[in-house]
A and B are shown apart, each in its own frame.
Chain A
Amino acid sequence: MGRCHSPVSHFGQIILVVLIGLAFPTSAKEAPQPTLESVMASLARSGGVEARFRESRQLTILSEPIESAGMLYFAPPDSLARHVEEPGESRIIVRADRVSFQDETGTQTLELGSSEVARAMVGNVMVLMRGDLDALRKDYEIRFDVADGLWNLDLEPRDRIVKQMIERLRVTGSEGQLIRMETVETSGDITRTEFLDVKVGFDYSDSSRDEIFYVRDGGTKGTSVASDRPAR
């Protein structure tokens, strides 16, 4: 008998990762009138990325939104990290087909293949970062428009299960750089993320990769791993 993973952790982790992924900035290459293709091409050229984020999560059951802030990192082709600095410290690390979540209660690791939602959405995050428009279109209905000098990417999931959770995603950017992202869930909950101090073209050293893209040694929970850092 296999282990029953909490759909809570699966869905939640992956969706959030998607949100993070969508937040990657593009290179600040000037384009008089951006098109979907030119934005995706910019994303493909963006290389390593570092950005500060601020997030507001408005839940229907809460009187006040939950605020958080921290750093986002991306190292091509398939490493992604979200470090929350306040309130409290936590990390989400995506490397290839594994996702690790770490907070003060421990570390939990799962494979993307464990969930259709996870595979579809995180896979698409990577697709987006690589600027693979065809693959993105396979999983999302895409609407692209430009208004007041900003471009907007509206993504509506095609997958039946993902669709049950997420109504739509809206990513806004300017001249090849992400500014904000909004996720509207079918429950009415809305998450808004703003990106600040975006730096692109990062080439992470081995030591900085070790620091950023691996969960720290520490406590575990569930079937978690103490550390996913490879032996050197």
Chain B
Amino acid sequence: MSDFALRWMTLLACAGFALYGLARLELTNSITHFMPSENDVELVEISLQLVDSPLSHRMVISIGGGPERNRVAAELADVLRDHPEVDWVENGFDEDSMRGIFDLYFDRRIYLASESPSVAFPAFIDDEGLDRAAQRLRARLARPDSMLGARIAPLDPLGLFDRIVERIRSTQPLETGGSGGFSTPDGEFAIILLGLASSPFDFAKQVVLLDDIDREFERLSKIANPTDKHGSELTMERSGVNHVAVASEKNVKREVNFISLASISIVTMLFLLVFRSLRHLFIAVLTPIAGFVVALAVAMSTSTQMHGITLAFGFVLLGVAIDYPIHLMNHHALSPAGTTARQSVARIRSSLLSSGITTSFAFLALSMSDFPGLREMGLFAAIGVPVSLAMTILCLPAFLGGARAPSHIQRRMSRGFEALIAWLESRFGIAVALPICFAVIAAAGIPSTRWEDDPSELMAANPETLEESNRVRSRVADFDPGRFVVGLAADREGALILNDEIHARLGRAIEAGDIEAVMSMHSFIWSESLQRKNLEAFRADPTLAMRLDTVYSRAGFRSGSFDGFVDAVAEPGVDPLTPEDLEDSPLARVMDSLVPLGERWAVITYLRGVNSGDAIRERLIGLENAHYIDQGEIVGEVYQGFRESTVRMLVVGSAVVFLVLMIRYRHFVRGLFAFLPPAMAALSTFGLFGLLGISVNVVSAVSLLVVLGMGVDYGVFTVDSARQPERLGATFSSLLVSCLTSIFVFGVLSFSGQSALRSLGLTVGIGTTFALLLSPSIHVFARRFERRRIEPV
């Protein structure tokens, strides 16, 4: 096959694999992909589905600063009601809504009398209890605000409706302020609550919504205060998962764009400087991309989804696989004139195969992980690396053509390394000292290595946005969207029955100081069975009507005034309150806490001021299908497990690399020499982190595996060049270009503000540099060893 045909076939094949993979690509971001056991997976699934439903889909807008805030808030709320990305808006209750709420509950006051009728009723409706209620009512009627109280008293002598109102009132700190809109208790801020139509993490949609809110607020503020040239004094602040997520993502994108541009520019300059050709850059990049698209296509042919982290890891592999074409291109350039590209490949084929196969096995170790996500990453790498290797050996010669004269830089680098090695061979002590230095760094630093197991530290949120969000949340005493108790049941009534018990137990937790407050559906609706128990409890006492009349007459009420109440007990006229009733009422948002979850129903109780998660778990013991979920805690546990598994796989990967090298060289010393650069580079990198007090995380651990994979190249090529001294200059100049490429691609990430990117950059950048620095010493050892084998003493 001609080179021309091979080139086009290669490009077409790459395009075909890319199209196939991308067409089938369906990304998932489920954290369950990185969960080890089925039980944990279920709990996390529950937490994720629930956290992604009610509170995280809610946004709070706070407007303060001027007397026109209430009007602007009302107008902004009206505008937002029609926004496609807004599901609902609440900014207060008008008179009709209040009336609707009154009608909903007043008729059902008998059903909603007591949370534990069997315990409370005897004392509630005995003569003493009735007398207490009569005195309370009298006192209530004596108050100046008793107009409506007096009106409903004949139907509610026991004050049942007031009890319901008090329960509902306890759930929210918002006042219904000026213009009927919500305001903070101090009246300083008008408040709008809105529900998101899309996921708070849908960046594109949330950016549109947030920008529209800003624009509308600005417009309305100007209308409200047109005389002020500097704009209104009004200020708007927001809280919401979407607000924080968009700010964070904007930060990351801005940074990544800058870093990418910097990396591409520097690498392009490097290739122009070393190879004097952009074509070489294209060839170098094409090789890892080929590995990536083939691995993607294979993965998508066997699976319906790929995790976003796996895909990101695939991009990291580009940095590993780019070393193979660099080696080939540099060796080819430094070959004698007239050498064909295939001849150049033949010279280093053995080294390329050794390093490529060893790297593949190193990553394949990940496939033994008990984390599906890590297995996926391992398989992805184990396919991508060999494909890149095959591409380098089989296809790249068709792109390279005959050897051109090396560039001035290539020649100088080659001669420089030859001189350096010669100098080092003459000063064996220095060659020995260098690895010892790295060993000391590893030994001294690794014990001090500090693991960062808080996943939130990986992504730095915009601090100003966080502060703004916290200010708004404190104004509305918002509940924690990441901490809640969930009850699961087969149907809605089952969920409400469970919720009755959950609420009782959490009430005891509040009394004990384990939590500050809860937001529960229980404040609005009880199970039908509990409601019917209340009615039965009233009816169970046939003397109630007579005693009520007697006791209340004694307290100064006219006899017969409360016949309406007695009639309502005999015939309530309405059924117990149901979720459907709430759905059709001004309190429809309450139903956000009762959501379908697969074939079950989940009822959620949100918490505020959790002092002890363990204490809450203890309260729920024995209550089947009731779980306390702390999102941060769960993610933290997942993260720690993921990190530990990664470290285990790192050890396994190292062992596999060592084994493969032993098999390749069939000699312990040669194998050991080839193993030293990656192993010592990885250990001393973590050692340096320990000494410098840089905390490491799961990204560092995965990055160390990349260092291992890349470092093997340094070991194999160094040991092989010891047996082929004529390759020495080309080998080390190739390693330098590889190392510089890695530094420019990964190392610049060290300057990122995001911990995850910084960890990747630091680990890979330092690791590959260490591997390069170790290589000359290892070469000197290997060279001395080979000489002794040829000329035994």
Where the two chains meet, the residues of A that have a C-beta atom closer than 8 Å to any C-beta of B are 1-13, 15-16, 57, 59-64, 66, 68, 82, 84, 87-88, 90, 92, 97-98, 101, 103, 109-117, 161, 165, 185, 187, 189, 222-223, 225
Contacts and interface: CB of A to CB of B under 8 A. Distances in A.
A110 B144 contact: no
Given A60-B558, A68-B142, A110-B175, A115 B95 contact: yes
A161 B147 CA distance: 14
Contacts of A60: 558, 561
14 contacts: A3-B172, A3-B173, A5-B98, A7-B148, A12-B144, A15-B147, A59-B150, A60-B561, A61-B150, A61-B557, A63-B553, A68-B142, A113-B70, A117-B95
B90 interface: yes
A9 B169 contact: no
B428 interface: no
B14 to A, nearest CB: 55
A1 B177 contact: no
Interface string B568-607: 0000000000000000000101100000000000000000
A4 B175 contact: no
Contact of B176 (A66, A111, A225): A111
A7 B156 CA distance: 14
B149 interface: yes
Contacts of B178: 97, 111-113
Contacts of A63: 553, 556-558
A61 B168 contact: no
B141 interface: yes
B557 A223 contact: no
B89 to A, nearest CB: 12
Interface of B: 70, 90, 92-95, 98-99, 101-102, 138, 141-154, 161-162, 165-166, 168-169, 171-183, 185-187, 193, 553, 556-558, 561-562, 587, 589-590
B174 A3 contact: yes
B162 A6 contact: yes
Q: Which of B178, B186, B587 has the most CB of A within 10 A?
A: B178
Contact of B173 (A64, A189, A223): A223
Contact of A111 (B95, B98, B165, B177): B177
Contact of B168 (A3, A66, A97, A116): A3
A8 B556 contact: no
A61 B558 contact: yes
A57 B150 CA distance: 11
Nearest to A68: B142
Nearest to B95: A116
Contact of A113 (B145, B180, B185, B558): B180
B166 to A, nearest CB: 7
Nearest to A115: B95
Contacts of A103: 143
Nearest to A17: B144
Contact of B145 (A16, A88, A111): A16
Nearest to B140: A8
B193 to A, nearest CB: 8
A11 B151 CA distance: 11
Contacts of A4: 93, 98, 101, 165, 168-169, 587
B509 to A, nearest CB: 22
A3 to B, nearest CB: 4
Given A2-B92, A111-B177, 14 more contacts: A2-B182, A3-B168, A8-B165, A11-B147, A13-B145, A61-B562, A62-B556, A68-B144, A88-B142, A97-B178, A111-B176, A111-B187, A113-B177, A116-B180
B189 to A, nearest CB: 13
A59 B95 contact: no
Of B90, B553, B556, chain A has the most CB atoms within 10 Å of the CB of B556
Contact of B169 (A3, A62, A87, A115): A3
A7 B99 contact: yes
A225 B174 contact: no
Contact of A92 (B93, B94, B144, B154): B144
A114 B557 CA distance: 32
Contacts of A1: 90, 171-172, 193, 587, 589-590
A78 to B, nearest CB: 14
A207 to B, nearest CB: 24
Nearest to A159: B95
B145 A101 contact: yes
Contact of B94 (A61, A116, A185, A187): A116
B144 A101 contact: yes
Contacts of B94: 116
A161 B97 CA distance: 13
A12 B145 contact: yes
Given A64-B556, A223-B185, A87 B142 contact: yes
B144 A82 contact: yes
Contact of B141 (A11, A62, A110, A187): A62
Given A3-B176, A62-B557, A113-B70, A12 B169 contact: no
A2 B176 contact: yes
Contacts of A110: 175-176
B587 A114 contact: no
Contacts of B146: 8, 12
Given A8-B145, A59-B141, A185-B147, A2 B556 contact: no
Given A7-B98, A61-B558, A98-B187, A114 B175 contact: yes
Given A1-B90, A5-B98, A7-B148, A61 B142 contact: no
Nearest to B139: A88
B99 to A, nearest CB: 7
A115 B95 CA distance: 6
A5 B176 contact: yes
A179 B93 CA distance: 38
A6 B165 contact: yes
B151 A187 contact: yes
B60 to A, nearest CB: 12
Contacts of A223: 169, 173-175, 185
A109 B153 CA distance: 23
A3 B171 contact: yes
A16 B557 CA distance: 22
B148 A165 contact: yes
Nearest to A20: B144
A5 B176 CA distance: 8
B430 to A, nearest CB: 74
Nearest to A6: B165
B310 to A, nearest CB: 40
Contacts of B142: 57, 66, 68, 87-88
A125 to B, nearest CB: 14
Nearest to A5: B176
A63 B558 CA distance: 5
A68 B144 CA distance: 10
A8 B174 contact: no
A111 B175 contact: yes
A90 B171 CA distance: 27
Contacts of B174: 2-3, 223
Given A2-B90, A68-B142, A117-B95, A12 B176 contact: no
B390 to A, nearest CB: 61
Contacts of B150: 59, 61, 187, 189
A166 to B, nearest CB: 8
Nearest to A183: B147
Contacts of A98: 187
Which 10 A-B residue pairs are closest in the complex by CB-CB distance?
A12-B145, A113-B178, A13-B145, A12-B147, A61-B561, A114-B176, A16-B144, A3-B172, A11-B148, A116-B95
Nearest to A186: B151
Contacts of B162: 6, 8
Nearest to A59: B150
Contacts of A87: 142
A57 B171 CA distance: 34
Nearest to A166: B147
A161 B95 contact: yes
A9 B145 contact: yes
A7 B102 contact: yes
A112 B102 CA distance: 19
